[in-house]
Amino acid sequence: MKQNHPKKVRDLVDGVLLLDKPVGFSSNDALIKAKRVLNAKKAGHTGTLDPFATGLLPLCFGEATKFSQDLLEADKSYDTTVHLGQTTDTGDTEGEVIASRTVDVTLEQIHAVLERFRGPIAQVPPMYSALKRDGKPLYEYARAGITLEREARNVVIHKLELVSYEAPFLKLSVTCSKGTYIRVLGQDIGEALGCGAHLNALRRTQVGALTMDGMLTLEQLTAHEAPLSLLAPVDALLSSFPAVHLTAELAKRFLNGQRLALGKEAVVVPAGQGRVRVYLDGKLLGTAILGEYSILAPERLIAFNSPPASP
């Protein structure tokens, strides 16, 4: 007779892990591994890194998942090595070489081509991507030998700098808008140079305001005797927003979803309008929109096991 084993109880874990994703792991594989080590009930990542890529993968746990969308929308920075002269079917080292050409380019040509890719550009998403068509990711069509028409998408390359060139390897530093495929950027640069290319290496160094400072490997997380202590607080995701500190009475109304007229209260109000992070006695309550006349409108609220103390 089949025995029913009790389902493992997961913990309510809140915080952010700045993971250094290893080569060979999908972003989801890395998330599942970290979630298991932390025994966390709820988790999510903040933008996919290809399996061959390494570097900064912020993982959100518990209440931090409410703010992960901000990082999906954020600019990102990468260090990458472009292998000139070889084109692969995936645009990276995981694919099969489908064309080889002679590499005969000068530094002057490289600088001229890079200038063409700075600023707003249009990119055609690769077939080997997780974008879906009729409910199925494009990479499944690609693996079946099917190529579909894809519409070009507008992205912005904020920074594109040459780090070094030792033929056939071109090392670049890139900062770009959301939705940018560095694989496609490398391929397009190779085509513009007349020799084709694929990515030999890719390392993400920044996501929004988050950098590699404090980044940890899965090995470090697994080996630590108190892995929960390695998590950054939820508001690590929100450091670019001004802070508003409420009184206990205002905090109670804020957590009930009420709009607050801060101009009439003894609260320091940041200059300007837009998103802010809201606190009571150093504890994050959530985010809000600060509008005209210092009106504070709740946006995303933290769920507390017990409400903040009343005045």
Active site residues: 50
DSSP assignments along 189-235, one per residue: HHHHTTS-EEEEEEEEEEETTEESTT-B-HHHHHH-SSGGGGPBPGG
CA distance linking residue 225 with residue 215, whole number of Å: 17
Joined tokens for residue 190: 């190779």
C-beta of residue 49 within 8 angstroms of C-beta of residue 92 = no
Residue 257, CB half-sphere, CA atoms under 13 Å: how many?
Answer: 0
Exposed/middle/buried for residue 176 (C-beta within 10 Å: 0-12, 13-18, 19+): buried
CA distance linking residue 235 with residue 98, whole number of Å: 46
C-beta of residue 184 within 8 angstroms of C-beta of residue 125 = yes
The candidate with the shortest Cα–Cα distance to 56, out of 184, 214, 180, is 214
Helix (H, G, I), strand (E, B) or coil at 195: coil
First to last CA, the chain: 58
- Angle of CA points 67, 73, 74, to nearest 5°: 95
C-beta of residue 16 within 8 angstroms of C-beta of residue 42 = no
What is the dihedral angle through the alpha carbons of 183, 189, 195, 197, rounded to the nearest 10 degrees?
-10
